[in-house]
Amino acid sequence: MRYLWQSTPMRMALALVALFSIVSLLSLGGSYLLIRQSLDESIRADLVQSMAGFRAAPSANALAALVSAEAAATDPDQRILSYVAPNSLHYGNALIARAGEGFSIVTPGKDSSSFEDSYLVLTKDLYGGRLSVATSLARIWDLRETFINILLLSLLPTIALALGFGMLIARRSAQRLEAVEGTLDSLARGDLAARMPPMPGRSDDISKIGLRVDRMAAAQQASVSALRQVSADIAHDLKTPIQRVAVILRQLAKTPDLSPKAVELVEKADAETAAIVATFQSLLQIAQIEGGSPKNRFVPVDLVQLAETFVEVYEPSAEDSQHKLRLMNRPGDDVTIMGDKRLMGQVFANLIENALRHTPPGSNVDIKLSSEAGKVKLTVADTGPGIPEEERQNVLRRLYRLEQSRTTPGNGLGLSLVSVIADLHDAKLDLASNFPGLAVTLTFDAAPQTKGEPK
């Protein structure tokens, strides 16, 4: 509902309802003022006409008799006739005390001047006495109530219906916009196969946007697929001849009568060739992960068990390079995820090798595993020089290497491969400072628990 109220269609519907309400209120208010003015003028004209009839009386006694006769047949709630004769006697159906001539509004017996139970009075001095003719303003009050009823019984239900209809339209538009946003989010995360779901109803501008998003996604997918295929083909085609070069170099190294200098050069060439083969192998592996669909092969993977295996494998290398490699996990934590065990092993290998390769002797390399609120965290932290914040996104690019890392072995694909494997497992990859050093954290969804398994 919060998303719905903040959506553009809902805001447009609210704006239209507000505009309709303002126009309707102005129209009703203008109509009320015009009708009220016309009714007021009609009452005044009636009073003037009545006063003219009484002025036709020839004397004060005749006027008093005429007022008494008409007052007896007149409802004082509708009209009041009051004549104070020169001898101070009062004739009529109510007494209205007036100090001056002309029109005024009075409320008999009250100090208030409100329209309710009020009268419009016309006073005239005749034959030494004072004649007052008053007409009730109840009709004007009734007119006001009538317009309030029109407002309550017509405008408010109309506004409620318009709001309800606006919410239905906004909800339909919001659902379509959510579908567009979901598809764009999937495309942004690298799922180039994401497409717009079918949209029910007639085609509209949002449907047209969805079609264009699909066309853009299809073109992007085709372009990226072609680029990946070219990269994979190049890596595959070059890998074989380079491996042959490596074989030839090994054979050359075994050739008798080679000078020590020639043997040294052959060994260097062989090492460089091996590095090139490893680079192509990593590129092919990335292409295979991006191009395949290994999620259907996912199984529960116990990261603690996997981490223990790789710590055991790399401990001798860490001791040789005077590093401290430690596994730190909270006892009792279930750190099982759904994934590809071979690829997760590649993650451990790449992160450990990166830490050992790019930190000076004596540095600590800690592997931390934890589980909380349905999430599993894997962190590999070191106490080396770390990576500057502005470079942390760059190191995830393929073949990118920091300036200070160019003198160390490597091909710039270690963290790229980790990033691709993290995306495949829908894991969040974060690079942060370890104060000092680098901390690489992957956050996975925990594997769902099977029936009967303790929570």
Q: 173, 206 in Cβ contact below 8 A?
A: yes
Residue 367's pLDDT is what?
Answer: 92
Residue 244's pLDDT is what?
Answer: 78
Structure tokens at 48: 């003037």
Q: Which residue type does 379 have?
A: T
Same domain, 354 and 265: no
Residue 455's pLDDT is what?
Answer: 42
Same domain, 118 and 33: yes
Domain housing 249:
205-291
Give the residue from 141, 159, 175 where a domain finishes: 141
Same domain, 35 and 129: yes
Segment 386-443, tens digit of pLDDT? 888 777 777 776 555 554 444 455 445 678 888 888 888 888 888 888 888 889 999 9
Same domain, 413 and 315: yes
CATH number at residue 287: 1.10.287.130
Flag whether 108 is in a domain. yes
Residue 251's pLDDT is what?
Answer: 79
Same domain, 315 and 227: no
Same domain, 243 and 375: no
Same domain, 258 and 315: no
Flag whether 193 is in a domain. no
Structural domains in the chain (count)? 3
Give the three-class secondary structure for 53: helix
Distance (Å, whole) CA 184 – CA 206: 14
Distance (Å, whole) CA 103 – CA 384: 99
Structure tokens at 133: 């003719």
Averages of pLDDT over each 10 residues, the chain, 455 residues: 67 81 87 90 90 88 90 86 88 77 67 56 89 87 86 81 78 77 77 76 73 82 68 64 77 78 80 71 62 67 90 90 86 81 87 88 90 88 84 66 49 74 86 87 82 45
DSSP state of 115: S
Best CA proximity match to 422, nearest among 442, 438, 440: 442
Same domain, 340 and 211: no
Same domain, 266 and 384: no
pTM of the shown model:
0.45
Distance (Å, whole) CA 92 – CA 68: 5
Flag whether 153 is in a domain. no
Residue 96's pLDDT is what?
Answer: 77
Give the residue from 141, 165, 184 where a domain finishes: 141
Half-sphere exposure of 353 (CA within 13 A, CB side): 17
